[in-house]
Amino acid sequence: MSCALDATHDPALTSWVESANAPDADFPIQNLPLGRFRRPGDSAWRLATAIGGQVLDLQAAGFVGHADMSLLLQQPAERQALRAALSAALAAGSPERTRLAPCLHAQSEVELGLPCDTRDYTDFYVGIHHATAVGKLFRPDNPLLPNYRWVPIGYHGRASTLIASGEPVYRPQGQVMAPGAARPELRATQRLDIELELGVIVGQPNLRGQAVRLGEAEAHIAGLTLLNDWSARDIQPWEYQPLGPFLSKNFATTLSPWIVTLEALAPFRRALQRPAEDPPSLDYLDSDANRQRGAFDITLEAWIDTPAMRAAGAPMHCLARSNFANAAYWTIAQLVTHHTVNGCALAAGDVLGTGTLSGPQPDQAGSLLELTQGGQQPITLPSGETRTFLQDGDRITLRAHASAPGARRIGFGACVGTVVERC
């Protein structure tokens, strides 16, 4: 479990890319996330890092080759070496400025896509406050099922409908069984919801039949992204018994375009928080290092703006704000270890969603299902509009940042999706 701080984390370090030095910049020189971009008219994606409001073409700058998955397949030591080289080259006063300046492109002038190619996608359920709140809606006397504190719960998603930030979200349809009805009907969902999550991006693969031990799990993780697991709440309860979500979940999952590496997140590690009365994890999911430094202090936010708000020039409204360290019952290392304990092979670029990361307070809920108590308590927006679930034209923006005393604030960029009528 890599926790080392080095010169790349120095909060006093600045860049010759001036936009990276703004106090609220998501991508200061201490971040250096990994992703892909392409220029107008290009068909091929190019590997990049974000620095301020710019992207640096890593291939044109000579930092990497042309293999699309090369960055994900790096060992942690190789990734640390790349980070150190980028930091030195982009630092204020670097002699590399003249050479690298032509390799920079404004983020606003290029297309930012999915940060990697993904073969498989698994969504977990690590948010204990979300699991408890949703459980109370459906099982008031038994909200949290007995296996929750023992096993990281997850279901297999669909990689073909992972979409890039900014792509439209088509309102899905499926079977809905209305209360008191004798038969279901096929219709477009009227209870379209969001889920405020992080995505864990797999780097190093493991062989089929080879379990990844907890102490080695983070070596298989390239970093984290923002993830919105859009959900159709009226389709979900009819179809999920007994095998779990299907059409209610696999129509769209939005990822942000940048992978924030574990190296960048080193200053923001925290102890795993568990109630004292909870049972210890089974041995394969437990270690001193994981308990002491396995969590991350990351603030997460979900924002909404409606067509009426945009027409009036009104700002976005924050629906919820939570924190990864306070929300998650399981660490990212535990997710990798449990996913592979049966011999399952993970591939570079695979995505592991955390599940909805709600905080303990009602206004920290990462889904409309929780915020509106299952649609019973509508939210009133500053525009005077109300929402229980999303309407066509509503735009959701997820944001996240990590901050700590003695460290430079870093961000994740935006994860954006606009609901449109099904074509």
| pLDDT tens, per residue, the chain with 423 residues | 656 899 999 999 999 999 999 999 999 999 999 999 999 999 999 999 999 999 999 999 999 876 556 789 899 999 999 999 999 999 999 999 999 999 999 999 999 999 999 999 999 999 999 999 999 998 888 899 999 999 999 999 999 999 999 999 999 999 999 999 999 999 999 999 999 999 999 999 999 999 999 999 999 999 999 999 999 999 999 999 899 999 999 999 999 999 999 999 999 999 999 999 999 999 999 999 999 999 999 999 999 999 999 999 999 999 999 999 999 999 999 999 999 999 999 999 999 999 999 999 999 999 999 999 999 999 999 999 999 999 999 999 999 999 999 999 999 999 999 999 976
17 with 74, same domain: the answer is yes
Which among 337, 344, 334, 332 has a CA at the least distance from the CA of 212?
337
What is the distance between the alpha carbons of residues 287 and 79, in angstroms, rounded to a whole number?
A: 25
99, part of any domain: yes
208, part of any domain: yes
Question: What local confidence, expressed as pLDDT, does residue 66 receive?
Answer: 63
26 with 171, same domain: the answer is no
What are the helix and strand counts (H, E) for the chain? 9, 26
339 in catalytic set? no
Question: What local confidence, expressed as pLDDT, does residue 69 receive?
Answer: 64
2, part of any domain: no
**CA dist list (Å): 266 to 134, 170, 181, 225, 352:** 32, 37, 53, 15, 20
What is the distance between the alpha carbons of residues 48 and 242, in angstroms, rounded to a whole number?
A: 43
Which of 48, 79, 112 corresponds to the end of one domain?
Answer: 112
53, part of any domain: yes
415 with 322, same domain: the answer is yes
> Residue 224's CB: how many other CB atoms inside 10 A?
28
Which of 73, 90, 112 corresponds to the end of one domain?
Answer: 112
What is the distance between the alpha carbons of residues 48 and 103, in angstroms, rounded to a whole number?
A: 10
247 with 187, same domain: the answer is yes
Question: What local confidence, expressed as pLDDT, does residue 3 receive?
Answer: 67
Active-site choice (9, 130, 339, 401)? 130
206, part of any domain: yes
Question: What local confidence, expressed as pLDDT, does residue 187 receive?
Answer: 96
Q: Do 422 and 172 form a contact (C-beta atoms < 8 A)? A: yes
Question: What local confidence, expressed as pLDDT, does residue 64 receive?
Answer: 86
52 with 198, same domain: the answer is no
Instruction: List the CATH number of the domain containing 64.
Output: 2.30.30.230
185 with 47, same domain: the answer is no
1, part of any domain: no
**CA dist list (Å): 190 to 88, 161, 249, 261, 278:** 52, 20, 14, 37, 38
Question: What local confidence, expressed as pLDDT, does residue 1 receive?
Answer: 64
Instruction: List the CATH number of the domain containing 336.
Output: 3.90.850.10
What is the span of the domain harbouring residue 69? Answer: 7-112
Contacts of 162 by beta carbon, 8 Å cutoff, 6+ apart: 114, 118, 121, 253, 254, 255, 351
343 with 371, same domain: the answer is yes
Residue type, position 385, single letter? E
Contacts of 283 by beta carbon, 8 Å cutoff, 6+ apart: none
Which of 112, 145, 168 corresponds to the end of one domain?
Answer: 112
399, part of any domain: yes
Beta strands 221-229 and 386-387: pairing type? unpaired
Per the listing, tokens 């129509």 go with: 251
52 with 153, same domain: the answer is no
Which among 232, 272, 267 has a CA at the least distance from the CA of 253?
232
293 with 218, same domain: the answer is yes
95 with 128, same domain: the answer is no
Q: How many residues does the chain have?
A: 423
96 with 220, same domain: the answer is no
Total of domains in the chain: 2
103 with 210, same domain: the answer is no
